[in-house]
Amino acid sequence: MHVAFVTMVTASSRETPATRRTGRVAAGLAARGHEVTVLCSRWWDGEPRRFKRDGVVYRAVTDAPAERSFASKLPFALRKVRPDVIQAVNSPPSHVAAAKTAGRLLRTPVVVDWWDDVSGDSRRGYRRVARRADAVVVPSETVRTRVREYGAREGDVRVVPESVDLSLVRESAVDDRADVVYARRLDGDANVESFLLALAELRDSAWRATVIGDGPERGRAERTARDLPIDDRLEFLGDLPLEERVPILKGAHVFAQTATREPFATNLLWALACGCVGIVEYQAGSSAHELVEGRDRGRLVTNPQELADELVAAADVERATENEAFAAFDRRPVLERYLDCYRDVIDGYGVF
Domains of the chain: 2-163+330-351 (3.40.50.2000), 166-327 (3.40.50.2000)
d(C-alpha 139, C-alpha 266), whole Å:
10
Considering Cα of 165, then 270, then 224, then 199, what sign does the dihedral take? negative
The CA-atom distances, in angstroms, between 232 and each of 111, 200, 202, 210, 343 are: 49, 12, 13, 11, 54
The per-residue pLDDT for range 42-70, each reduced to its tens digit, is 999 877 889 899 999 999 999 999 999 99
The Cα 335–Cα 340 span in angstroms is 9
Residue 46: what pLDDT?
78
DSSP alpha helices (H): ranges in 32-152?
A: 67-81, 93-106, 123-132, 141-149
- 242 Cβ neighbours under 8 A, 6+ residues apart: 165, 168, 270
Its pTM stands at 0.96
pLDDT, position 351? 46
Query: How do the pLDDT tens digits run along the chain, 352 residues long?
Result: 999 999 999 999 899 999 999 999 999 999 999 999 999 999 998 778 898 999 999 999 999 999 999 999 999 999 999 999 999 999 999 999 999 999 999 999 999 999 999 999 999 999 999 999 999 999 999 999 999 999 999 999 999 999 999 999 999 999 999 999 999 999 999 999 999 999 999 998 999 999 999 999 999 999 999 999 999 999 999 999 999 999 999 999 999 999 999 999 999 999 999 999 999 999 999 999 999 999 999 999 999 999 999 999 999 999 999 999 999 999 999 999 999 999 999 998 764 4
Q: How far is CA 312 from CA 113, 180, 234, 253, 304, in A?
A: 40, 11, 17, 11, 13
Q: Which long-range contacts (CB under 8 A, 24 or more apart) does 286-289 make?
A: 286/142, 286/257, 286/259, 286/260, 286/261, 286/262, 287/139, 287/140, 287/141, 287/142, 287/143, 287/262, 287/263, 288/257, 288/259, 288/262
C-alpha span between 190 and 281 (Å, rounded): 12
DSSP letter for each residue of 230-244: -TTSEEEEE---HHH
pLDDT at 350: 62
Hey, what's the torsion of the CAs at 124, 126, 128, 131, to 10 degrees? Answer: -130
Task: List the Cα angle 44/12/84 in 5-degree steps.
Answer: 85
Give the separation between CA 64 and CA 119, rounded to whole angstroms: 21
Listed residue (338, 343, 348) closest to 29, CA to CA: 338
Contact 96, 112 (CB under 8 A): yes
